[in-house]
């Protein structure tokens, strides 16, 4: 591997899922919590993405960002800017972002009609 063979090997084609136009909803409770998080600054966006990993293979990734270098779809819901990466759009179409108010395991939750199963903590799905 110090011989240059690895450097010259061409990339293999990984699966490129079809990009779908994402429709999503945000529950009233989640919108209230987002309003607290955003404050008056609506230039920020909620990035809703998916990473590999977790007990079920895919993990939700929620971030409040100013911008991202990922190719995203921008959706505006009641003044909230939501960004969904195209690379994971096929996994996120139809989701509802909810907020569960409890001491343990509370926080933002994703209700995903595309998920066949999810792990107990709700952070990952398959």
Partner 1 sequence: MPTAPYLDGHLSVWRGNDVLSFIDGLSTNHVLDLKEGQFRLTTFTTAQAKVIDRVGLFHMGAFVAVFSHGPYWKSLFAHISPRILGQDVTISNATENNNFFIQFGVESDDVGTFSSSEGTTVAHCMPHINYIVASKNSEVQVDSSISDFHEWRVDHVIPWQGFEISEKHHAFACGLADDVHPAKGCYIGQELLTRMRTRGKMGRELICVDTNQASQKDITTRGLSKSLAIVRL
In the complex, the residues that contact partner 1 under the rule CB under 8 A are 1-6, 8-12, 14-15, 17, 49-59, 70-71, 85-88, 91, 117, 119, 123-124, 126
Nearer to partner 1, 30 or 92 (CB): 92
**Spatial CB neighbours of 98, under 8 Å, sequence gap ≥ 6:** 27, 29, 30, 108, 109, 110, 111
Least distance in Å: CB of 11 to partner 1?
5
Residue 90: both structure tokens together: 């096929």
Least distance in Å: CB of 61 to partner 1?
10
Q: Quick one: which of 37, 17, 10, 16 has its CA closest to 97?
A: 37
Least distance in Å: CB of 111 to partner 1?
20
């Amino acid at each position: 591997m110090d011989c240059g063979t690895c450097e010259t090997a061409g990339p293999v084609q990984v699966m490129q899922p079809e990009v779908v136009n994402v429709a999503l909803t945000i529950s009233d409770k989640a919108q209230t919590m987002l309003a607290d998080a955003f404050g008056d600054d609506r230039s920020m966006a909620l990035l809703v993405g998916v990473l590999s990993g977790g007990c079920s293979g895919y993990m939700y990734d929620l971030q409040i960002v100013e911008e991202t270098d990922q190719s995203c779809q921008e959706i505006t819901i009641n003044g909230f800017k939501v960004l969904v990466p195209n690379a994971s759009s096929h996994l996120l179409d139809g989701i509802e972002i909810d907020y569960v108010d409890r001491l343990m395991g509370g926080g933002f939750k994703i209700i995903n009609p595309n998920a066949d199963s999810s792990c107990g903590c709700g952070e990952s799905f398959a």
